[in-house]
Structure 1
Amino acid sequence: MDEKQTLIAEFRQQLTRAAWRMQYHNRFRMNRELPIAAAERSGAGEDDEQTLSVLYVQEVLLGIPSDSGRSVMRKLIVEGKTEKEVSRELGISQQAVNKWKRKSVEAIRRQMMRSAN
């Protein structure tokens, strides 16, 4: 009987650790993917700084050359959706969403480098 209780306690501990890891990774992913949406939700109102931030984000998104990349980035960054949710909405794979995200980030980086010079 002691062995059974020990085994149950061990499994319970492993499940607790696995659940904690899943929550941690999900929280980390959400914070990494959704910083703008989280900032908008935490804001108390439409002040000048927030309005400028929104306008800047819209301007940056317009600098992405492809409509698909722009759409993916808008859903990920502005609307605060995950890659999985965006892939379901657009009817493409999650890998395709990730690829569009990488291409779009590269386009934004190039745009910022040009504007800095």
Structure 2
Amino acid sequence: MNTEQTAFERVQGEVHRIGWRIQYRAKTLKRREHSFYDMEHYHRGVNFTDHTDNRMMVEQLMNTLPPQGKLVIHKLYIQDQTESEVARELNISQQAVNRWKRRMIRQLSQTVNL
């Protein structure tokens, strides 16, 4: 059997590696939550009063959450920590942080839709 690779096989291998790197990068980015304040650059056209109103509304919504849920959401979205960092800090499992996050997002969504 010929041990040398054809040009097609080399390109195919390189495309496979590039695809794997892209998938890995996407998974890594997906695990990272986006900070509420980091998202401000998407809203450059928003004036100061709209920005202040948004922050006040977020604070009011956060106050409807139970203390543990509020803390988890605050650390994930306001302090821009990962689930594993929050889990370590609160001495709970990452799975528990994820459950709290999903529960609190669902509760916030229900509160907003009332």
Rounded Cα–Cα distance in structure 2 between residues aligned with 1:93 and 1:12: 38
Matched to 2:27, the amino acid is H
Which residue number in structure 2 is paired with residue 83 of structure 1? 83
Q: Partners in 2 of 1:4 and 1:37 — Cα distance?
A: 51
Aligned residue runs from structure 1 range 31-70, under 5 A: 33-34=33-34, 36-40=36-40, 42=41, 47-65=48-66, 67-70=67-70
Percent of counterpart pairs with the same letter? 25
Provide structure 1 residue ranges, at least 5 long, that are not aligned to the other structure: none
SS in 1 for 2:74: helix
Look up the match of 2:109. Answer: 109
1:19 to 8, 18, 21: 21
Give the superposition deviation at 1:80: 2.0
Please give the TM-score of this superposition, normalised by the length of structure 2: 0.72
Instruction: Check the 8 A contact 2:72/2:100 in 1, yes or no.
Output: yes
1:27, distance to aligned residue in structure 2 (A):
3.3
> C-alpha distance in 1, partners of 2:10/2:87?
39
Q: Distance in 1 between matches of 2:35 and 2:86?
A: 16
CA distance in structure 2 between the partners assigned to 1:7 and 1:91 by the alignment: 49
5+ long unaligned stretches in structure 2: none
1:74 aligns with 74
Determine which structure has more spread, i.e. the larger CA radius of gyration: 2
Alpha carbons of 1:91 and 1:48: their partners in 2 closer, same or farther (altered >3 Å)?
A: same
Shift of 1:86: 1.6
The alpha carbon displacement at 1:84 in A equals 2.1
Task: Check 1:28–1:99 CA distance in 2 against 1; reply closer, same or farther (3 A cut).
Answer: closer
Q: Structure 1 residues 3-12 or 78-87, which shifts more? A: 3-12
RMSD: 3.0
Structure 2 letter corresponding to 1:37: Y
**What is the deviation of 1:6?**
7.7
Normalization by structure 1: what TM-score?
Answer: 0.70
